[in-house]
């Protein structure tokens, strides 16, 4: 693999956020500065994770999305840091998400990081959690997404049928929304307690291949960035 480096290559140091939310913004959607279900989901997950993580677990930093990027910061570098440091990638799957070249790049960059799981988790445990944000027809789901389980018997049937976004917006389905968030938080908590996710090298996401648009991602020519921690 041919690697290009900007300002030297370095691995991030220290524990990263518990999760980073990867999602697509459909055309005409509000900016990230407007109130949105994404911000609500991040807050709800952080609260629930705090209830489930066992005492004695290393300090857990709150999960984030790109809504937390400070004004004036380099948003691409922020996302590069999150993909290299966050413990879990929560992917809000929808048709725009799977069509998005950028979201496919985020998935590909995060998936390069090694995950070491301890019992009771399986050695094949993934640190990517796909969420049914808006249901996608089966024939439109990419293989890398299909191979990961997205629901369990404790989640309501309306989750797979309607998607978490619809549950969050309908007053009569808020209980179902919270059921799903609770199960997602439990899984993130298990990953925090029983896995080690190796830090990644910071990648200029724009130069990375897309996991959704290439059957075998080509990493030749990818640009690695210098971590703030090294600088």
Q: What is the pLDDT of residues 3-41, one digit of tens each?
A: 333 333 333 334 789 999 999 976 655 444 444 899 999
What pTM does this model have? 0.87
Domain ranges of the chain: 13-200
Topology of the domain comprising 13-200: Rossmann fold (3.40.50)
- List pLDDT tens digits, range 175-231: 999 999 999 999 999 999 999 999 998 999 999 999 998 777 778 888 988 654 433
User: Taking 80 as the threshold, does the pLDDT of residue 62 lie above it?
Assistant: yes
Q: DSSP states of the chain as a string?
A: --EEEES------S--BSEEEE----TTPPPTTS--HHHHHHHHHHHHHHHHSPTTSPP-BPPB-GGGPPTTS-HHHHHHHHHHH-SEEEEEE-HHHHH-HHHHHHHHHHHTS-EEE-TTS-TT--SEEEEESS---GGGS-HHHHTS----TTS-HHHHHH-HHHHHH-GGGHHHHHHHHHHHHHHHHHHHHHEEEPPPPPB-GGGSPPTTT-SS---TTEEEE--GGG-
């Amino acid at each position: 693999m041919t690697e290009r480096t900007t300002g030297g290559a370095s691995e991030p140091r220290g524990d990263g956020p518990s999760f980073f939310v990867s999602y697509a913004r459909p055309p005409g959607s509000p900016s990230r500065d407007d109130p949105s279900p994404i911000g609500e989901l991040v807050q709800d997950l952080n609260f629930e994770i705090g209830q489930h993580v066992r005492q004695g677990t290393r300090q857990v930093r709150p999960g984030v999305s790109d809504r937390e990027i400070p004004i004036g910061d380099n948003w691409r570098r922020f996302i590069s840091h999150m993909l290299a440091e966050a413990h879990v990638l929560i992917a809000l799957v929808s048709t725009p998400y799977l069509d998005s070249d950028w979201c496919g790049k985020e998935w590909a960059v995060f998936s390069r990081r090694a995950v070491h799981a301890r019992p009771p988790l399986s050695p094949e445990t993934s640190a990517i959690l796909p969420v049914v944000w808006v249901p996608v027809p089966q024939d439109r789901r990419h293989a890398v997404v299909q191979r990961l389980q997205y629901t369990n018997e404790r989640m309501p049937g309306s989750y797979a049928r309607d998607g978490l976004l619809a549950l969050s917006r309908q007053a009569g389905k808020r209980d179902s929304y919270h059921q799903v968030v609770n199960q997602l938080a439990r899984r993130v908590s298990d990953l925090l307690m029983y896995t080690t996710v190796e830090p990644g090298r910071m990648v200029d996401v724009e130069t990375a291949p897309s996991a959704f648009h290439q059957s075998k991602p080509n990493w030749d020519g990818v640009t690695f960035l210098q971590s703030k921690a090294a600088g």
